A and B are shown apart, each in its own frame.
Chain A
Amino acid sequence: EPEVTQTPSHQVTQMGQEVILRCVPISNHLYFYWYRQILGQKVEFLVSFYNNEISEKSEIFDDQFSVERPDGSNFTLKIRSTKLEDSAMYFCANSLAGTYEQYFGPGTRLTVT
């Protein structure tokens, strides 16, 4: 099965700090997604990204969040000023154009203290 990778696996940060979560997608899979899972809760959609722009975003994805492909390969999620409630597992997902198979990375556990 194709593999999405994410770094770091675990990030601890203080409230108010900026964090950048990174995702290395599967080659030629040009649809990108970020999801998050707060402990004990559902996996929730944050944002989708295609052709260098956001396709869709949820209510969670407010002005504190941003996404980009800084070097044309990696895909990043930035949280500008973290809050305690941003503590969650963040998953990157990736799919090939014209398919509905989304492949997930192993996730980054973000802990905001």
Chain B
Amino acid sequence: GEDVEQSLFLSVREGDSSVINCTYTDSSSTYLYWYKQEPGAGLQLLTYIFSNMDMKQDQRLTVLLNKKDKHLSLRIADTQTGDSAIYFCAEIPNSGYSTLTFGKGTMLLVSP
């Protein structure tokens, strides 16, 4: 079955880069996503990558996909205190539908 795993917690200093990692089990995953959840808020779509790509950059965000190792990462450059949130990795398995399977989320804490 599908499973998505993430480390639970990451702490960085303001201005440093953050790297949040995710592994997934379904080798036929088509799309992989990063969502951000701030306290008391919903899930904000940050970025996503199609499985035939290995990198996508969007301003301070860089997504790297290693399909062989089934490993996805999100790099946030110049991390700010406003980036403190829970970051969810998610995938759409190649099941013919478009439902998302989520990881448990990584809490990113950015200290001044």
Q: Which of A33-48 contact B (CB under 8 A)?
A: 33, 35, 41-45, 48
Closest A residue to B6 using CB positions: A42
Q: Which residues of B contact A101 (CB under 8 A)?
A: 45, 48
Q: Which residues of B contact A93 (CB under 8 A)?
A: 43, 100
Establish whether residues A91 and B100, one from each chain, have CB atoms under 8 Å apart when the complex forms. no
* Complex alpha-carbon distance, A42 and B88, angstroms: 9
Establish whether residues A104 and B35, one from each chain, have CB atoms under 8 Å apart when the complex forms. yes
Asked if B57 is at the interface (CB within 8 A of a chain A CB), the reply is: no
Q: Which residues of A contact B104 (CB under 8 A)?
A: 41-42
Question: What's the dominant secondary structure at chain A's contact region?
Answer: strand
Given A41-B104, A42-B104, A48–B98 Cβ distance below 8 Å?
yes
* Complex alpha-carbon distance, A109 and B15, angstroms: 34
Given A31-B98, A100-B31, A104-B35, A42–B42 Cβ distance below 8 Å?
no
Count of interface residues, chain B, beta-carbon cutoff 8 Å: 21
Establish whether residues B41 and A106, one from each chain, have CB atoms under 8 Å apart when the complex forms. yes
Q: Which residues of B contact A100 (CB under 8 A)?
A: 30-31, 48, 92, 98
A 90-113 to B, binary, CB cutoff 8 A, 1 in contact else 0? 010101000011111111000000
Establish whether residues B103 and A48, one from each chain, have CB atoms under 8 Å apart when the complex forms. no
Query: What 6 new A-B contacts, CB under 8 Å, besides A45-B99, A104-B43?
Result: A48-B98, A58-B99, A102-B45, A102-B100, A104-B45, A106-B41
Binding site for A on B (CB under 8 A): 30-31, 35, 41-45, 48, 88, 90, 92, 97-105
Binding site for B on A (CB under 8 A): 1, 4, 6, 31, 33, 35, 41-45, 48, 55-56, 58, 91, 93, 95, 100-107
